[in-house]
Structure 1
Amino acid sequence: MDLQSFLSSLADLPWFVTALDLVGIFFFAVSGALLAARKDFDFVGSLTLSVLAGLGGGFTRDILLDRGVPASLENPLYLAPPALVSLLVYVKALHPNRLNLTITVFDAAGLALFAVSGVMIAHGMGLHPVSVVVVASVAALGGGVLRDIVANEVPSIFDPRGIYVVPAVLGAALAEFAATHGGLNALSGTLIAALIFTVRMVAYRRGWRFVGADISQDAESLARLRRLARQAQVAAARRAVPIRGRGTRLRAGRRDRGPAAFGPREEFEDQVVVEDYNPDTQAITVVDPASHQSVTLHPATGVMDVTDIRTGRTRSFDEPEEG
């Protein structure tokens, strides 16, 4: 068998589509479980986000294509990755420090694999090329959207940091073009998935944006918020005093009145107001009136959650890398 015949034979291997689905489910499930860990969800919450992220896209795809019982319900094997991943994260076998970056890596891998498998399935059912791209894109994006909505996060498709939808759509279009010309097989499908993953990660790391995208949270403003939150955290830690047999509490000031007075209120009156402080984890929440933003800093992971008070929209940022 020559090389051309071999590559052609790879185009009709059902195991490859199943393999793409299972590996894609695993990657999406990891992103869901890690997000649950960052949100301090319990095992049930972790499993829920893993299932939604891992199975949501394929479930939606199968319903749109009217394939009968979705593959994730027809074959119990599809439930194994979310369950395994949730257990690994719960016992902290998977507990990286740079949570947001790691979540993005696994999410990008799932995005790429589901885009390709979606094209293979939809094209095999004889859909119009445009419909194939739409179905594949929905399959690639659906799990992440469900995961973020349930976790009360801004869905990645609406986040101007990096480009998220474009790699999936263009990758699906490229895969459909290859399928139309008889060139979509295990090898080309893997290469297209790698291309989608690469574009998504480069866009994320370089912060690519569309013209007109929100740029209010640039590197300088984020560095300022992190610096103020750290200063407030250090000052609040100085005020925390141990209570025998009952952990720690904050040393109250004369002007302390409820949660808004937690932390070094008098020291940051002209910059940020400390809304909450946990002496045990040293996590702190401050409000910056100048930018209308609330900031929660988690010292254990370095993750900083920034919420726009006017819209309620929250975005999370890893601690900047050294150098």
Structure 2
Amino acid sequence: MDLQHLFSTLADVPWLLTTLDLVGVFFFAVSGALLAARKDFDLVGSMALALFAGLGGGFTRDIVLDRGLPASLENPIYLAPPVLVSLLVYVGAIRPNRLNLTITLFDAAGLALFTVSGVMIAHAMGVHPVSVVVVATVAALGGGVLRDIVANEVPSIFDPRGVYVMPTVMGAAAAELAAQRDALNAYTGTLIALLIFTVRMLAYRYQWRLPGAHVRQDKDRVDRLRRLVQQAQATAARRAARTRERAVWPASGPGGVDAAHGPAEDYEDQVRVEDYDPDTQSITVVDEATRQSVRYHPETGVMDVTDMLTGRTRSYDDPDDDWVVDDGDAPAHP
């Protein structure tokens, strides 16, 4: 199917490719801005992460296909979704309580749309079918990978909790097969995008893993860390309240608590409080036994666990939303 034939097939929907791209940019930008909010980035940092997430995949696709100036630079309207999303998150218009789940929802939606638009563009340029699947996959994954790397998160493609890459590859292959049969249009493209989104969310919900990916989360370890950090946070909050009542709160360090007077102590001889912010009541503790640093945000219930040896961070929502499994068969929270 040549370029002219493809565009004649899509003549009734000339807005399709641009619409898919813009909506995909919007969804990826939301995931980036929400991650920036969880990381306590300022407005500039939020816009930067939203831009990386929203435009990274399109940049990669256009450069690989040698399309000249990337579409997001040729048409300034591509910059609008990331900027708008960052402002909405900054002013609190987008303020979900279940951050991890919401980020995953928007990420999966962007993944689905960029996969379909990547296939349409690569196929129209006469790329080999196998290469079409590769280009579409790279385009769909590029923004999310760039977002996670910049935010010092483990990229989702390496996270064993839930299948991430395979829905993209399968969807790209299905879209290319449809294009080979002149059947890739607005309707089939939407259907394939919904399939990718559904498979990704089911994989996340039920923690599906590919054969050989035997890594699993130890729920007892996660529960232990949450219990200790919540107890330490409650203690720190009481100390801060008592100090304010006595009006003798000392000059604070970078984290909002002076090391000599704040809650910098071993808690239950298991974790050490490293930082506490009395304004947000967020707290950071270090578990020396496992060499992990835990940042807890009581307002959202999000717990960021960083491996101090590798620097990799994994985040957990409130226990009702964690979706962490006890074993390889059943979810801990149905």
TM-score after normalising by structure 2: 0.86
Aligned equivalents of 1:85 and 1:123: distance in 2?
31
**Maintained 8 Å contact 1:229/1:297:** yes
SS at match of 1:189: helix
Deviation sequence 1:207-258 (CA, Å, 0-9, x none)? 22234436353322211211111111112222223347989569xxxxxxx8
Assess if the C-alpha contact under 8 Å between 1:11 and 1:186 holds in 2.
no
CA–CA distance in 2 between the matches of 1:213 and 1:292? 24
Q: 2:54 aligns to what?
A: 54
* 1:277 counterpart residue number: 276
Equivalent position of 1:286 in the other structure:
285
Is contact 1:236-1:264 (8 Å) kept? Answer: no
**Which structure 1 segments of 5+ residues have no match?**
1-7, 251-257
For residues 11 and 176 of structure 1, do their structure 2 counterparts lie closer, same or farther at Cα, with a shift above 3 Å needed? farther
In 2, the alpha carbon distance for the partners of 1:260 and 1:12 equals 70
1:144 and 2:144 equivalent?
yes
Bigger Cα displacement from structure 2, 32-41 vs 114-123:
32-41
Partner of 1:3: none
CA gap of 1:71–1:206, structure 2 versus 1, over 3 A, is same
Aligned to 1:208: 208
Mapping of residues 155-304 of structure 1, within 5 Å: 155-213=155-213, 215=215, 217-240=217-240, 241-243=242-244, 248=249, 259=259, 262-263=262-263, 265-269=265-269, 271-304=270-303
Q: What's 1:118 paired with?
A: 118
Aligned to 1:108: 108
User: More displaced, 104-113 or 83-92?
Assistant: 83-92
* CA positional deviation for 1:119: 0.2
Tell me how far 1:281 sits from its aligned partner: 1.8
After superposition, the Cα gap between the structure-2 partners of 1:302 and 1:214, relative to the gap in structure 1 and judged at 3 Å, is farther
Give secondary structure in 2 for the equivalent of 1:276: strand
Q: Secondary structure at the residue paired with 1:77?
A: helix
Give aligned-pair identity as a percent: 70
Instruction: Give the corresponding residue for 2:131.
Output: 131
Q: Secondary structure at the match of 2:161?
A: coil
* 3-state SS of 1:305 partner: strand
8 Å contact kept, 2:264–2:275: no
Instruction: Say which is worse superposed, 258-267 or 205-214, in terms of deviation.
Output: 258-267
**Deviation for aligned residue 1:116:** 0.3
Aligned residue pair count:
308
The match for 2:41 is 41
1:219 & 1:82 partners in 2: Cα distance?
35
**1:71 maps to which residue?**
71
Task: Answer yes or no: is the 8 Å Cα contact 1:247–1:280 preserved in 2.
Answer: no
Contact 1:132 1:176 in 2 (8 A): yes
Q: 2:266–2:273: 8 Å Cα contact kept in structure 1?
A: no
Contact 1:167 1:200 in 2 (8 A): yes
| Residues 284 and 297, structure 1, Cα contact 8 Å, conserved in 2 | yes
Instruction: Say if 2:160 and 2:216, in contact at 8 Å, map to a contact too.
Output: no
Q: Which amino acid aligns with 2:292?
A: Q
- Deviation by residue 1:94-122 (Cα, 9 ceiling, x = unmatched): 11111111111101100000000000000
Amino acid at match of 1:187: Y
What is the CA RMSD across the aligned residues, in angstroms?
2.4
- Give the aligned residue type for 1:236: A
Shift of 1:153: 1.3
